Amino acid sequence: MTTAITHTSGRPAPTGALLALASMTCVQLGLAASVGLLDRVGAEGAAWLRLSWAGVIVLLVLRPRPWTMSRRALRGAVLLGVVTGGLTILFMAAVARIPLGTASALEFLGPLGVAVARGRGGRALAWPALAAIGVLLLTQPWHGGTDPVGIAFALAAAACWAAYILLTQAVGDELEGLQGLAISLPVAGLVSTVVAGPRVVESIEPSILLVGLGLALLLPVVPFSLEMLALRRLDTAAFGTLMSLEPAIALVVGLVLLGQRPDMLALVGMAFVVTAGVGAERIGARASRPVETGAVPALAGLDRPEPREEADEQDLQHQQRMIHAG
């Protein structure tokens, strides 16, 4: 598939961790900025701006070659784009109704479920139970204060995220490098155009188009670069574990930028979801990932030559994250 990535010696693990955290922060800052567009263009319009510009950037940078792909690979990449469009639209609809941190935690149930499904043994069942308790504490249905429609949108986005994790891996097994991403993001832009409809698209002012371009740069482009650097310093176990912190970052961004203040129960629920994500990631890695004797499981794997399987797994994780950021 892809050429194995080799770590450069002398680069400590904290550098890779900081790069990964910076990437997640950029994603959440972009999402918070997108929330500011909801009153002007709606959830569909905000999703359309992000996905359309991201699709254009990807077309220009990656230059997809669909004529070199098999029908199976091309069909998978197109389906991945449809799921990506659904994920983005549903998530924007969720954050229009519920706090960003809550929406991110609910959406995170998708990859958590995939990781748990790959896990083995009775311990794997403990993580979804912990996550379920966390979700109850986050949404607090006994108060009736959280919009049930927003919760439904976030859970639907979680299902889409789980689907595109599986689809990205299937497409990544068929295509080299980021060619799957080069097809799927433009398709997602087309899907968002259809969903938004001509009324939304035609009503968007030129100034908002420029804002959309800025968001597209903040979401796919900057995180893309940071994660490329992070993945050269971290193995997939470390990277996946760090990604489990994203709901907590979303909560902080929502608090600082959007004034969304969680209560104590919501904070405990967030901690439960993050803990479940870390635990599920550590038991639910793909079977192709090599296991090294004596390595620290969460943040090991730096400054060593990387086998092909590990490089392929990092490629898949990177594509999944970039599709999500798009």
What DSSP letter does each residue of 78-130 carry, written as one string?
HHHHHHHHHHHHHHHHHHTTS-HHHHHHHHTHHHHHHHHHH--SGGGGHHHHH
Sorted by sequence, the CB contacts under 8 Å of residue 101 that are 6+ apart come out as: 247, 248, 250, 251, 252, 253, 254, 255, 260, 262, 266, 270
AA letter at 48:
W
Torsion of CA 48, 54, 60, 64, to 10 degrees: -90
Which pLDDT belongs to residue 318? 58
Q: What share of the chain is helix, strand, coil (3-state, %, to 5)?
A: 75, 0, 25
Predicted pLDDT at 234? 74
277 contacts 108 by C-beta, under 8 angstroms = yes
Burial 133-161 (b: 16+ CB within 10 A, else e): ebbebbbeeeeeebbeebbebbbbbbbbb
**Cα-trace Rg, the chain:** 19
pLDDT at position 8, please?
Answer: 44
Collect all residues with Cβ–Cβ distance below 8 Å to 309 and sequence separation of at least 6: 288, 289, 290
Instruction: Of 181, 173, 180, give the one whose Cα is nearest residue 1.
Output: 173
- Other residues' Cβ atoms within 10 Å of the Cβ of residue 10: 8
Model pLDDT, residue 172: 79
**Dist. CA 32–CA 256, nearest whole Å:** 10
pLDDT of residue 168: 81
Question: What string of pLDDT tens digits covers the 326 residues of the chain?
Answer: 333 334 444 454 678 888 888 988 988 888 888 888 888 888 888 888 888 998 998 899 888 888 888 899 999 999 999 999 999 999 999 999 998 888 888 888 888 888 777 766 666 678 788 888 888 888 787 776 789 999 999 999 999 988 978 888 788 788 877 788 889 989 999 999 998 878 777 777 888 888 888 888 777 668 877 876 777 777 766 777 777 788 888 888 999 988 888 889 888 988 888 888 777 776 655 444 433 333 333 333 333 334 445 555 555 555 555 556 55
Would you state the structure tokens that stand for residue 249, as one six-digit string? 């970052």
pTM across the whole model = 0.77
Structure-token match 């569909």, residue found: 44
**How high is the pLDDT of residue 294?**
37
